[in-house]
Amino acid sequence: MNETQSGEAQSSENLDRTPVEDADVCVVGAGPAGALLSYSLAKRGHDVVILEAGPRFDMEHRVDRMKLQIHPDRGVNEVWDMGGERDAYSMSGEQDWPLNKRRVKGVGGTSLHWGSVTPRLREKDFEMESRFGVGKDWPISYEDLQPYYARAEQEVGIAGPDNAPHQPPREEGYPMDPLPNSASDDLFAEAAEALDIDVQSMPMAINTGKYDRNQCQGYGTCEHVCPSGAKYTAEVHVEKAEAEGATVLTQTPVQRFEHGPDGEEVTGAVYKTPDGNTHTQEADVFVAAAGAFETPRLLLLSESDQYPDGLANSSGTVGRYFMQHEGALVIGIVPNQETYQGAYGPVVSSGIQQFYEGTAERGGANIMLLNTSDPSLAERAIDSSGFGDDLLETVNLYGNSIGTLNSVEMLPREDNRITLDRSKTDNHGNPVPDVQVEAGEFSEKGTEKAIQVGKDLIEEMGGNVAFVQGTTTDSDEFIEDIKGGYHPMGGTRMGTDPDDSVVDPNLQTHDLDNLYISGGGVFVTGGAANPTLTIMALSLKAADNIHGSLAG
């Protein structure tokens, strides 16, 4: 037993981690890209096995993890035990991201620490080349994905506005009413009205009572820990999949895929176990759902004599056209105005979608209005060296802050890519992923626009802009929260042409009949919407196709 930072013990010895016999589907990764897909297949009678590199975290220690988040001296990576040799990586490009503060390995994956903001992509996001002459069109349209969005929203439990402006067409209402406005939402709305800007409720994967998990209790720490379990994590559908007969093998990092002699099918996923053994999981179908950083790495690590450039890479595009959403943060102080930051609970409840469309020259922006724009009271208290009345005076200096956090579209570029860094290895001797990213003018202009909107709103409410960071900030000056890596997309993109894409519109790889990729990696362009809902919708589409192929 190893005690982790949270005090939660991880048992390494007692679980049976031998391969499942006669598995129909082997899913690599127990995050949002794998969980709903696994459940969808398991409930239709398929034998599913999920191989997860990380552990299963218990609910009992979520409060401890939340306290790690609040403690000023503990890193975000410590909250979910990320880091060390297992999670080693390189960043050799222009941007330097703290990758292990942006992802989680374990049952639930990165949804364990996400903020749970769940907008859909817009119609234009699938047609950037046709409409604006930039990027590339997806091989599917918004309409193709729309029914899967609806299913994903129902499964996950989204609280959102049915009739808000600047949203794509909806076929039915959200499963839950939107979250109520926060105090800062009201302040933004009042200022926005004077500027002809629409403030609207943000779709959030937070249970307000209708779903069979705890209701939101207002810890105010959803990013990066929800101790109550009201925030959706992919644990929900991993557990549902298990209830339908799926098997989850934790702490079983997949090292490579093996293929048959003709190179047309994957025959096994080779994985390690904590006791040092190596096993091979066989199945009829394999789904790589290990996240947009690790999935291309896994394909590249699966190189063979037949596929010297890696598996599913006959196009040479594995790892290429990698994207993120450029972030921008605007914080202001509104004198004599209590803004009740942190008191509300969810980190975001409203946003501005009016500038989502963008232009041919400027990326669209998804502007999120923060309910937690200053450090928590307990964090401020612990971080100070004072005590008694002096400490109270110090922590009470806050209370008037307000802010926006922006997610801005970046165009796909061939040279923004994930490769293997063969000079550095993980705890199993495998080369680590190397991420090379440059923002580009399109997203720089988008962040400038988003920042200007935030500044205008804060000044309209009588506030002073106190802090601004975005793509025009020197990357050395970025505070950690704004360094990139939150929304990784691309790298195994979707397309109809096997010469310039990795998977087809059903997420099946062009090169191998029984290998699918589920995750943000298949995005052709990234839009400005937080990607997880789209990842889940696409995974349901893939699951339907896998079901069809297995039934056939």
Give me the least distance between CB of 207 and other proteins, in Å please: 10
Q: Considering beta carbons, is residue 400 or 532 the nearer one to other proteins?
A: 400
Would you give the DSSP letter of residue 315? T
In the complex, least distance from residue 226 CB atom to other proteins, rounded to whole angstroms: 10
Please report, as a single letter, which amino acid is at residue 202.
M
Residues 257-286 that bind other proteins (CB under 8 A): none
Residues 319-338 that bind other proteins (CB under 8 A): 334, 337-338
In the complex, least distance from residue 353 CB atom to other proteins, rounded to whole angstroms: 21
Instruction: Specify the length of the chain in residues.
Output: 552
| CB distance 223 to 113 below 8 Å | yes
Binding-residue pattern over the window 156 to 195 for other proteins, x denoting contact by CB under 8 A: -----------------------xxxxx-xxx--x-----
Report angle CA 101, 234, 252 to the nearest 5 degrees.
70
Which positions from 372 to 401 touch other proteins by CB under 8 A, shown as an x/- string? x---xxxxxxx--xxxxx-xx--xx-xx--
| Cα–Cα distance list, 218 to 186, 188, 357, 490 (Å) | 18, 21, 33, 34
Cβ at position 347, least distance to other proteins in Å: 10
Q: Is 340 in the site for other proteins (CB under 8 A)?
A: yes
The interface region with other proteins, picked from 16-24, 104-112, 218-226, 533-541 by CB under 8 A, is: 218-226
Structure tokens given for 186: 């009201």
Place of tokens 């992923």: 433
Token pair listed for 323: 């994207």
363 is an interface residue for other proteins by CB under 8 A: no
Q: Is 419 in the site for other proteins (CB under 8 A)?
A: no
Total chain residues near other proteins (CB under 8 A): 65
Question: In the bound complex, what is the minimum distance in angstroms from residue 393's beta carbon to other proteins?
Answer: 9
Q: Which of residues 41-80 bind other proteins (CB under 8 A)?
A: 60-61, 63-64, 66-67, 70-71, 73-74
Hey, what are 394's tokens?
């110090």
Q: How many CB atoms lie within 10 A of CB 16?
A: 8
One character per residue 196-215, x = contact with other proteins (rule: CB under 8 A): ----------x-x-----xx
The strand pairing partners of 201, in sequence order, are 350
- Is the four-CA dihedral 227, 230, 232, 235 of positive or negative sign? positive
Give buried/exposed letters for 131-169 (b at 16+ CB in 10 A, else e). Answer: ebebbbbbbbebeebbebbbbbbebbbbbbbeebeebbe
Contact 166, 354 (CB under 8 A): yes
Collect all residues with Cβ–Cβ distance below 8 Å to 194 and sequence separation of at least 6.
460
Question: Does 481 sit near other proteins (CB under 8 A)?
Answer: no
Contacts with other proteins, residue ranges (CB under 8 A) = 5, 7, 60-61, 63-64, 66-67, 70-71, 73-74, 179-183, 185-187, 190, 206, 208, 214-221, 227-228, 230, 334, 337-340, 342-346, 372, 376-382, 385-389, 391-392, 395-396, 398-399, 461-462
